């Protein structure tokens, strides 16, 4: 077997100065233990769609008298046995443990393990081994061959954000806890396995893959994909993985750009700490657009249709290498600490790499969408807060929305404006990463470090400036209190606005005048901005606009928002017909979500919908209600992180 490069290096432990002791989305008692490391040993069985094996947790108890270990789990995990041993204690034989599984929420359960009193001593390492089998939990997506791009071999991938990986392995499923991990994965012949790990090795004879993540990560960033995958190196520390039929297209679209983007990011924010920056393109069944799994970004193959959105999404995930992965939000109630900072970093990278006009145009599209959502929701809707307090039982995934990204971005931009020099703020962010690397933080950590870094601002009491108080930024509803100057995008934005004004202000515009606008040279974001602004003034003033739009090739739509828009209008029967023709090519999770959108009120429909009723009733388990399009644009399923949606009515950002 090929050896791993080296032993894992020592890194700072988990936690942070102000890490919260309570996470209402976790059933675990993570504050009672320090998780040093864990190891997964799994065998993948594509025939029965199961992963089976064991998990070993290296734990150090923190408190005296705590003889119960509580882990996050899921009803789809079948626990076979649990045992414990104390390394280097003279007792080499493991001790079998008793355990109890209790309900927690609709997205998980609690695994309560009784620990032997003699073994639990503060500061002394214990090893807990859990043997288990996965079934059809929300983190694990088994794709039959017809659901893959090549349609020749099955594929499986995991998606942990936000609280799904408790159905992959029992864990402290909270971003407040980080640890290193290793994994051994056994697969059938012809299957390649990838994980979000810094090193890997493979034994062809034994069909065993081994992985090591030497840097501490939270549970949601542990990811796996296995199938017919091939790769091409596109830089000294990056390679592209995909099914064979997609690989050449993906490589052509990315070229050497990844290393260029990494270099720009490093100039701004300091060294990229994760070693590898690989990308794997997944079939259209992937439930989100992209996921920032460390060392191995997952991204949907559909994004290859648009070079600009591919660029934005990959750069956004690269930015997470600093903001979100290296320094992580300690609670899901403050996701903006990851997404808002990553969005700011993404735009700093694109400004340096592609200029101010490009970045301002993209930002205008996103902020337009933010204000569009506010008009639907109202300024007092609590979902527009940066710090969203949620009750126990609420799935954190349902809180992902434009405010997490764009209002967070505006707050970070405001902090940059306060310091008076964007390059000084770059240095602040670089030092912030260095200060808190591999830790989980709360908003107050960032604010305290900011005010300490710029003492003149603290002396000027900028945190209490009337109307722009930091507390109001974090806890207040409504639009951002400040938005950056985006006039640098006028060369690209003004032609779009001119065409919109032409259509809106003239009852029957001259077609020759309209066609003088050469949309074939417009960028994707110009087309999206034009469509959004036209539809903001629906109904459209003239039918020929459809012909104008039809000349472009950049209209991208994703499945769920498209079906939601069709059902909301007069096109429901068209949507039903399309669904019947394409449902066999949908992942079962997506199929159930679309069924719910189409047929949730089917009991009141005419007999024409009778087949839909029987189809819906045969689906088990029943899908949860789909969220309002005004709150989120992704399917209401635990594995869905915020989706990039380039639809006619809404634009969201990448994961």
| 339 among annotated binding-site residues | yes
| 37 among annotated binding-site residues | no
d(CA 34, CA 19): 13
Task: Quote the DSSP letter at residue 651.
Answer: B
**Planar angle of CA 624, 388, 363, nearest 5 degrees:** 95
Of 132, 220, 344, 405, which is the active-site residue? 405
d(CA 280, CA 298): 5
Residue 391 designated active-site:
no
Contact 380, 468 (CB under 8 A): no
d(CA 257, CA 266): 14
| 371 among annotated binding-site residues | no
Residue 599: which H helix or E strand, with range? helix 588-599
Contact 171, 72 (CB under 8 A): yes
For residue 550, give every residue at least 6 positions away whose Cβ sits within 8 Å of its Cβ, in sequence order, or none: none
d(CA 574, CA 582): 12
Cα dihedral sign for 21, 22, 26, 32? positive
Task: For residue 430, list its beta bridge partners.
Answer: none
Q: Which of 220, 224, 223, 49 shows the shortest CA–CA distance to 147?
A: 49
Prior bond to 539 cis, omega within 30? yes
Task: Quote the DSSP letter at residue 523.
Answer: -
Of 214, 243, 292, 317, which is the active-site residue? 317
Residue 405 designated active-site:
yes
* Residue 614 three-state SS: helix
Pairing verdict, β 290-291 and 296-300:
antiparallel
Q: What is the number of helices (H) and of strands (E) in the chain?
A: 19, 22
Contact 651, 368 (CB under 8 A): yes
Task: Quote the DSSP letter at residue 7.
Answer: P
Measured in whole angstroms, the distance separating CA 633 from the mean position of its chain's CA atoms is: 13
- 238-242: strand order across its sheet: 230-235, 238-242, 278-282, 296-300, 290-291
CA 292 vs CA 28, 274, 322, 526, 549: distances in Å: 25, 12, 11, 27, 33
Quick one: the chain helix, strand, coil %, rounded to 5? 40, 20, 40
d(CA 414, CA 468): 9
d(CA 528, CA 492): 12
d(CA 351, CA 261): 11
Q: Which two tokens stand for residue 225?
A: 């994909």
Q: Which two tokens stand for residue 209?
A: 């893959």
Pairing verdict, β 155-158 and 224-227:
antiparallel
* Residue 557 three-state SS: coil
DSSP characters for 181-222? Answer: EEEEEE--TT-EEEES-SEEEEETTTTEEEEEEEEEE-GGG-
Question: What is the greatest pairwise CA distance in the chain?
Answer: 90
d(CA 439, CA 426): 20
Question: Which parts are annotated binding residues for Zn(2+)?
Answer: 316, 320, 339
Annotated binding site: 316, 320, 339
Residues known to be catalytic: 317, 405
């Amino acid at each position: 077997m090929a050896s791993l490069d080296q032993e894992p290096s020592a890194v700072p432990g988990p936690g942070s100065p102000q890490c919260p002791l309570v996470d209402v989305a976790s059933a675990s008692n993570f504050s009672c233990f320090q998780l040093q490391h864990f190891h997964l040993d799994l065998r993948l069985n594509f025939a029965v769609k199961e992963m089976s094996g064991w998990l070993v947790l290296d734990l150090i108890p923190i408190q005296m008298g705590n003889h119960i270990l509580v882990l996050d789990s899921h009803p789809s995990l079948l626990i076979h046995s649990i045992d414990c041993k104390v390394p280097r204690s003279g007792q080499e034989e493991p001790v079998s443990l008793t355990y109890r599984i209790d309900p927690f929420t609709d997205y998980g359960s609690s695994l309560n393990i009784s620990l032997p009193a003699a073994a639990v001593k503060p500061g002394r390492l214990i090893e807990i081994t859990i043997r288990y089998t996965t079934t059809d939990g929300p983190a694990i997506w088994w794709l039959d061959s017809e659901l893959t791009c090549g349609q020749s071999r099955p594929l499986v991938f995991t998606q942990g954000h936000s609280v799904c990986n408790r159905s992959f392995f029992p864990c402290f499923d909270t971003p407040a806890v980080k640890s290193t991990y290793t994994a051994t994965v056994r697969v059938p012949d012809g299957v390649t396995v990838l994980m979000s790990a810094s090193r890997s090795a493979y034994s062809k004879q034994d069909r065993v893959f081994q992985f090591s993540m030497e840097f501490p990560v939270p549970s949601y960033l542990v990811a796996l994909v296995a199938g017919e995958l091939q790769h091409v190196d596109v830089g000294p520390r990056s390679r592209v993985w995909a099914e064979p039929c997609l690989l050449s297209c993906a490589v052509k679209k990315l070229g050497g750009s990844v290393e260029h983007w990494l270099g720009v990011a490093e100039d701004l924010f300091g060294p990229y700490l994760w070693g590898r920056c690989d990308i794997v393109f997944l079939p259209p069944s992937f439930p989100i657009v992209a996921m920032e799994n460390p060392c191995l970004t997952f991204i949907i193959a559909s994004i290859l249709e648009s070079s600009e959105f591919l660029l934005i999404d990959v750069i956004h995930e690269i930015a997470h290498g600093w903001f979100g992965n290296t320094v992580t939000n300690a609670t899901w109630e403050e996701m903006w600490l990851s997404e808002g900072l990553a969005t700011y970093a993404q735009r700093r990278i694109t400004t340096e790499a592609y200029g101010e006009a490009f970045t301002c145009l993209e930002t205008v599209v996103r902020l337009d969408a933010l204000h569009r959502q506010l008009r639907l929701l109202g300024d007092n809707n609590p979902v527009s807060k940066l710090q969203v307090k949620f009750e126990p039982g609420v799935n954190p995934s349902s809180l992902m929305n434009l405010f997490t990204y764009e209002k967070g971005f505006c707050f970070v931009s405001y902090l940059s404006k306060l310091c008076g020099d964007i390059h000084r703020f770059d240095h602040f962010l670089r030092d912030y990463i260095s200060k808190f690397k591999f830790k989980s933080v709360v908003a107050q950590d960032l604010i305290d470090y900011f005010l300490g870094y710029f003492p003149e601002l603290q002396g000027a009491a900028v945190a209490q400036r009337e109307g722009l108080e930091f507390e109001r930024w974090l806890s207040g509803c409504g639009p951002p209190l400040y938005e950056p100057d985006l006039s640098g995008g006028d060369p690209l934005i003004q032609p779009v606005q001119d065409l919109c004004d032409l259509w809106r202000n003239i009852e029957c515009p001259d077609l020759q005048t309209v066609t003088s606008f050469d949309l074939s040279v417009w960028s994707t974001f110009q087309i999206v901005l034009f469509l959004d602004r036209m539809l903001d003034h629906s109904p459209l003033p003239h039918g020929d606009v459809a012909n104008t739009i039809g000349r472009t090739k950049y209209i991208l739509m994703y499945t769920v928002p498209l079906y939601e828009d069709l059902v909301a209008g007069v096109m429901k029967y068209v949507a039903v017909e399309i669904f019947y023709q394409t449902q066999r090519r949908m992942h079962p999770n997506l199929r159930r979500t679309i069924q719910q959108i189409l047929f949730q009120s089917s009991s009141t429909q005419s007999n024409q919908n009778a087949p839909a009723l029987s189809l819906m009733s045969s689906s088990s388990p029943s899908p949860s209600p789909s969220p309002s399009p005004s709150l989120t644009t992704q399917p209401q399923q635990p594995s869905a992180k915020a989706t990039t949606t380039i639809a006619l009515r809404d634009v969201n950002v990448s994961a």
